[in-house]
Amino acid sequence: MNAIEVRGLRKSYGALEAVRGLDFEVRSGEVFGLLGPNGAGKTTTVEILEGYRKRDGGEVQVLETDPASAGGAWRERIGVVLQSSAMYETLTVTEMLRLFAGYYSRPRPVDEVVELVGLHEKRDERVRRLSGGQRRRLDLGLALVGDPELIFLDEPTTGFDPRARRQAWETIRGLRGLGKTILLTTHYLDEAEQLADRVAVIAHGQIVASGKPSELTGGTPATEIRYRENGREVVLQTDEPTRVLNDLTGHALAQSREVEGLVVRRPSLEDVYLSLTEEPAE
Amino acid sequence: MRLFRHELKGELLLYLRSRELAFFTFLLPMILFVLLGSAYGSDTIDGYDGATFLEAGMIGYGAISVAFAGLAIVLVIRRESGVLKRLRATPLPAPAYVLALLLSYLAAFAVEVVAIVLLGKILFGVDVPTRVPSLVLALLLGVVAFCAMGIGVAGLIRSAEGASAAVNAIYLPMSFISGSFFSPHSFPGVLRAIADVLPLTYFIKLVRAIMLQGDEIWTQGTNVAVVAAWGVVGLVVALRAFRWEPHEG
């Protein structure tokens, strides 16, 4: 079953076509990553799915409901983390969570949410005194407190230090373990590679590639082999890394010498992404 | 209903926590009452006891201060910071939210009025108003009308930084011109002409008629009508200009 289905989605702002015919679906229980550079149409797309914006064309079903006309019962089932983290600065962490828990008919216990997002040491701290990373974790907590089935995370770790990102990833993996469906937008490729079951790369309002991260990196571009010969760096791109490496090392072995500075690199999602979202040459 | 009660509790807590707001819109009218009352509370203004005259004016100033200025500033800040947008994603219905917000400002104003009346009694020996039902009705009308205007003005202000400045630029001069602090009779003609269209002028006239002359609210048709009309204007602007999302950039 699909938690989200999008067919031919279109949205323009004046003359600017922000989203030009998107098709994708998010299956129940998976983490789906929407990747793309700034201005590609990610946030517009997500905000249409969240019910914030009206679409100009196409079909959208989120939890079997059209978000453009969805009501309170539907909002019970979704959790939203927006790009900007907005809260009542004068409340404490638990007061903030308790306030939002009250909006839902079957909320998750506030203490449990505090633990889940790792804010137990800050539970009685005023929101205004939290660090950026702590605020973002409270953001996530506020999206979780209604115990939703589907969670939208719009760039959840932007501005995090590496440790805070690892912690956030653990939390998101934990959510997946609880059976939640997650739609994640990010421009960090490692984040998508780490978290997402499937990804779609979006550029200029269209999907340019989609699939499992391993499928995306499994095709082109080719494996890269680098080494030094006579002080010169040699870079080979090949679709047959096994044969090329065998030739190279066999040759070196026959002459009883090391291949200097040998590096074999599989294309990362970042390489795929960069080649897909390349700006056309002027 | 459950959501409304829950949100009302939340709003009251938020009001109590907002120190800057509480000072400027809640305490300032009381402080001004004490200062002005000490200065010329024992004079006679327009033929009435000065302190009683001032008390009625301060209740008017309190209404515009709490309901109009306080509410407008808070709404702009919540909208521009993205809190309203976030609330939209929850099951909290918009009417429950707006009603709870209004009621929390109404409660703050009720406390304000009681405090001003008590201050008047204790410090200046002003009699507690006798036409209580009429006064309560008049204050309710005023606070609802000023809340509507507050929401309307909030819709016209585009940035959180500008909110305080814009709101102060409207309500402080209005408080002067409408005669919250002095008798408007001593003002030059131009100011009186401006005063003649301002809602606060009519609200203060209404409150003074009830508190000073012992009139009932139903004898005050013009004053009631003008305040209500301004409330409707506020409501129309509010319905047209209200938005949940911050202005981009």
Question: Domain of A201: which CATH number?
Answer: 3.40.50.300
Does B150 map to a domain? yes
* Residue whose entry in the numeric block shows the structure tokens 């702002």: A13
Q: Is A188 helix (H, G, I), strand (E, B) or coil?
A: coil
| A122 shares its domain with A145 | yes
| A205 shares its domain with A227 | no
Going edge to edge, which strands form the sheet with A198-203?
A78-81, A150-154, A181-186, A31-35, A198-203, A206-211
Q: What rounded mean pLDDT belongs to chain A?
A: 88
* Residue whose entry in the numeric block shows the structure tokens 């990804």: A199
At A256, list the tokens: 């009883």
Q: Which residues of A touch B82 (CB under 8 A)?
A: 82, 84-86
Chain mean position to CA A269: 13
Does A192 map to a domain? yes
| A176 shares its domain with A112 | yes
| A229 shares its domain with A207 | no
For residue A261, the model assigns a pLDDT of 86
Does A30 map to a domain? yes
Does B249 map to a domain? no
Domain count, chain A: 2
Is the pLDDT reported for residue A138 higher than 90? Answer: yes
Q: Residue B63 belongs to what H/E stretch?
A: helix B50-63
Mean pLDDT calculated for residue range B37-60 = 90
- Is A161 within 8 Å of A119 (Cβ atoms)? no
* Side chain identity at residue A9, one-letter code: L
Q: Which residues of A touch B92 (CB under 8 A)?
A: 103
| A230 shares its domain with A178 | no
The CA distance from B67 to A19, in Å, is 42
Closest partner residue to B93 among A50, A72, A142, by Cβ? A72
Mean pLDDT calculated for residue range B171-193 = 87
| A161 shares its domain with A68 | yes
Is the pLDDT reported for residue B247 higher than 90? Answer: no
Domain extent at residue A240: 222-266
Based on C-alpha coordinates, what's the Rg of chain A?
23
Domain count, chain B: 1
The CA distance from B210 to B207, in Å, is 5
Residue by residue, what is the 3-state secondary structure of B1-15? CHHHHHHHHHHHHHH
| A121 shares its domain with A50 | yes
pLDDT band at B105 (very low <50, low <70, confident <90, very high): very high
Mean pLDDT calculated for residue range B87-96 = 92
Domain extent at residue B223: 2-241
- In DSSP terms, A175 is beta-bridged to none
Query: Greater confidence, A167 or A2?
Result: A2
Is the pLDDT reported for residue A146 higher than 50? Answer: yes
Q: Chain A residue closest to B248 (CA)?
A: A84
pLDDT band at A160 (very low <50, low <70, confident <90, very high): confident
Query: Greater confidence, B182 or B10?
Result: B10
pLDDT band at A270 (very low <50, low <70, confident <90, very high): confident
Q: Give the percent of chain B with pLDDT over 70.
A: 99
For residue A84, the model assigns a pLDDT of 82
The CA distance from A117 to A18, in Å, is 34
Mean pLDDT calculated for residue range B129-157 = 94
- Beta strands A260-265 and A223-229 are antiparallel
Mean pLDDT calculated for residue range B218-246 = 94
For residue A218, the model assigns a pLDDT of 64
| A33 shares its domain with A134 | yes
Q: Which residues of B touch A78 (CB under 8 A)?
A: 89
Does B248 map to a domain? no
- For residue B34, give how far its alpha carbon lies from the nearest alpha carbon of chain A (Å): 30
At B238, list the tokens: 């509010």
| A233 shares its domain with A197 | no
Is the pLDDT reported for residue A280 higher than 90? Answer: no
Residues 6+ positions from A9 with CB-CB distance below 8 Å: A19, A21, A22, A23, A45, A48, A55, A57, A58, A59, A60
Is the pLDDT reported for residue A201 higher than 60? Answer: yes
Q: Chain B residue closest to A99 (CA)?
A: B10
User: For residue A266, how many other CB atoms are within 10 A of its CB?
Assistant: 12
| A47 shares its domain with A105 | yes
Is the pLDDT reported for residue B221 higher than 60? Answer: yes
Is the pLDDT reported for residue B32 higher than 50? Answer: yes
- For residue B200, give how far its alpha carbon lies from the nearest alpha carbon of chain A (Å): 31
For residue A282, the model assigns a pLDDT of 44
| A119 shares its domain with A251 | no
Does A282 map to a domain? no
- Is A55 within 8 Å of A9 (Cβ atoms)? yes
CB contact under 8 A, A86 and B17: no
- Judge residue B40's burial from the number of C-beta atoms within 10 Å of its C-beta, 0-12 exposed, 13-18 middle, 19 or more buried: middle
Does A72 map to a domain? yes
Is the pLDDT reported for residue A65 higher than 60? Answer: yes
CB contact under 8 A, B18 and A105: no
CB contact under 8 A, B91 and A88: no
Mean pLDDT calculated for residue range B169-188 = 88
The CA distance from A141 to A232, in Å, is 53
Mean pLDDT calculated for residue range B139-151 = 96
Q: What is the DSSP letter of A19?
A: E
Q: Give the percent of chain A with pLDDT over 70.
A: 96
Q: Which CB contacts under 8 angstroms, 24+ apart, belong to B20-28?
A: B21/B70, B21/B73, B21/B74, B24/B65, B24/B69, B24/B70, B25/B65, B25/B66, B25/B69, B25/B70, B25/B73, B26/B65, B26/B66, B26/B70, B26/B108, B26/B112, B28/B65
- The answer, for A80 touching chain B at a CB cutoff of 8 Å, is yes
pTM over 0.90: no
Mean pLDDT calculated for residue range A231-237 = 85
The CA distance from B170 to B152, in Å, is 13
For residue B88, the model assigns a pLDDT of 92
Residues 6+ positions from B223 with CB-CB distance below 8 Å: B202, B203, B205, B206, B209
Mean pLDDT calculated for residue range B139-167 = 94
Does B96 map to a domain? yes
pLDDT band at A117 (very low <50, low <70, confident <90, very high): confident
